[in-house]
Amino acid sequence: MDQDSINALRDQPVPVFHHLIEGRHVPASDGGLMDVLSPRNGQVLTQIADGTAADMNAAIASARAAFEDGRWAGQAPAARKKVLMKWADLIDAHALELAVLGVRDNGTEISMARKAEPGSAAATIRYYAEALDKIYGEIATTSSDILGLIHKEPVGVVGAIIPWNFPMMIGAWKLGPALAMGNSVVLKPSETASLSLMRMADLALEAGLPPGVLNAVTGAGAVVGEALGLSMDVDVLVFTGSGATGRRLMEYAAKSNMKRVYLELGGKSPNIIFADAPDLDEAAKVAAAGIFRNAGQVCVAGSRLLVEAPIHDEFVAAVARATKAMQVGDPLDLATNIGAVNSEPQLQQNLDFLRKAEQEGGEIVRGGARILQETGGYFMDPAIVTGVAPDATLAQKEVFGPVLAVTPFDDEDAAVRMANATVYGLAGAVWTSNLSRAHRMVRAVRTGVMHVNTYGGADGTVPLGGVGQSGNGADKSLHAIEKYINLKTAWIKL
């Protein structure tokens, strides 16, 4: 990937994106369209179909018919594997196109997006393609005249609602295991970042996925997302996004067919720095990247920095220096380290959090302003806020922006109490040279992922899931497959 190749794609016209239903591009039933604003410049990039409940129901019906007639679920594992492997190859072949399209749509810096979006998506699809013919049933230990068999069957129709921050990566976390196990999927991308995921769905058809096995409907969550959640014909619903939306989806499930709902929700992840960290300068650089890359729009972002009191001032200064070295700018520039905030409302929400933090006694020691307004885009100078009390809004609520809350602690017990003093439990980290302390902290901090002397970067071989109000179920790894299968017992008298 080089700058000239990126520049050749940065201003190409983007066609209108319609729904994908039964292998065809279909406009909204009422002809409605929704403008797509690029966070790079605030300009209309293209339009997407503004879907209706009828559109979503048509997509669900297509997925149900595809599952029932066995056009995908009935194929041999080797045949499904071949299609998914070809899909991964096509994603790789179109990687730069997909990455640039996604950056124009959601603002992630291209230096991150190329690897995190098409690169990660292709690797994920390939991982589950490799795994699918190695998932076996079981034989139970029973009496001599009984044969107990445990079959693993696809659940049927999966509804997948995908967020805007990493649509291809997170989309693949759902699509890979769901399709590998033989399910049909109805995809609902975010209305503020649909384009790369919709293009990725087209590539699945090109790879040989039968029509109807993967359908995708764009539009407002309150319309098409609600229809997906309330459908009596969706068997499993998977979602990554806000807690408020997650609650609504659980309500929809209760009001309809009590479908299984798996949620990856918010986080307020603690990054805990002890004075005996092996390399404080490295820890500071990683802490800055862990909250400010992708403008803080990362579910596992280390948004709470807990620092042992004796090194607090020194370490905050080091993080500020590391942050200053990170360039905010055009996300299609390879020199950019921090891209655009996804939308104007998201940017204003970030700034509101900072005003609230100051009212509650916090001090903004760097950043915190809107910048590069001359571009028309949505850019923010990364903010570091010190003096954040453990019960302050900034320590309790997910900002989902480039805002770091800093709180000192006195000892290990205090660090654990502060780390666990939120409703969330998605990720966290501890920096220490004390091996025993590292293991104690991994056990004590209630979270789905705990890093030691690093932050981020866990690959697809390990699960990502939350505890508390960060959700349930796990994406990634072989454990994710469990969401997309039913267990059936066969009890056979011999």
Please write the tens of the pLDDT for every residue from 148-205. Answer: 999 999 999 999 999 999 999 999 999 999 999 999 999 999 999 999 999 999 999 9
Q: In this predicted structure, what is the pLDDT of residue 132?
A: 97
**Structure token pair of residue 406:** 């800093």
pLDDT digits (tens, 9 = 90+) for 88-117: 999 999 999 999 999 999 999 999 999 999
Which of the residues are catalytic? 264
% of the chain surpassing 90 pLDDT: 99
pLDDT digits (tens, 9 = 90+) for 113-163: 999 999 999 999 999 999 999 999 999 999 999 999 999 999 999 999 999
pLDDT digits (tens, 9 = 90+) for 385-429: 999 999 999 999 999 999 999 999 999 999 999 999 999 999 999
The overall average pLDDT reported for the chain is 97
Backbone angles phi, psi at 31, to 5 degrees: 80, 5
**Planar angle of CA 376, 382, 388, nearest 5 degrees:** 135
**Structure token pair of residue 280:** 């404080």
Q: What CATH architecture is 270-458?
A: 3-Layer(aba) Sandwich (3.40)
Domain ranges of the chain: 3-265+471-491, 270-458
Nearest Cα residue to 307 out of 430, 422, 452: 430
Q: Residue 375: beta bridge partners?
A: none
Q: Is the dihedral of CA 6, 215, 58, 163 positive or negative?
A: negative
Terminal Cα distance for the chain, rounded: 62
- Kindly write down the DSSP assignment for every residue of 341-375, as one continuous string: -S-HHHHHHHHHHHHHHHHTT-EEEE--SEE-GGG
CA distances (Å), 480 to each of 172, 251, 323, 488, in order?
12, 23, 35, 18
* pTM, to two decimals: 0.97
- Strand 24-26 vs strand 33-37: parallel, antiparallel, or unpaired? unpaired
Q: What topology is assigned to 3-265+471-491 in CATH?
A: Aldehyde Dehydrogenase; Chain A, domain 1 (3.40.605)
Sorting pLDDT into bands at 50, 70 and 90, what band is 458? Answer: confident
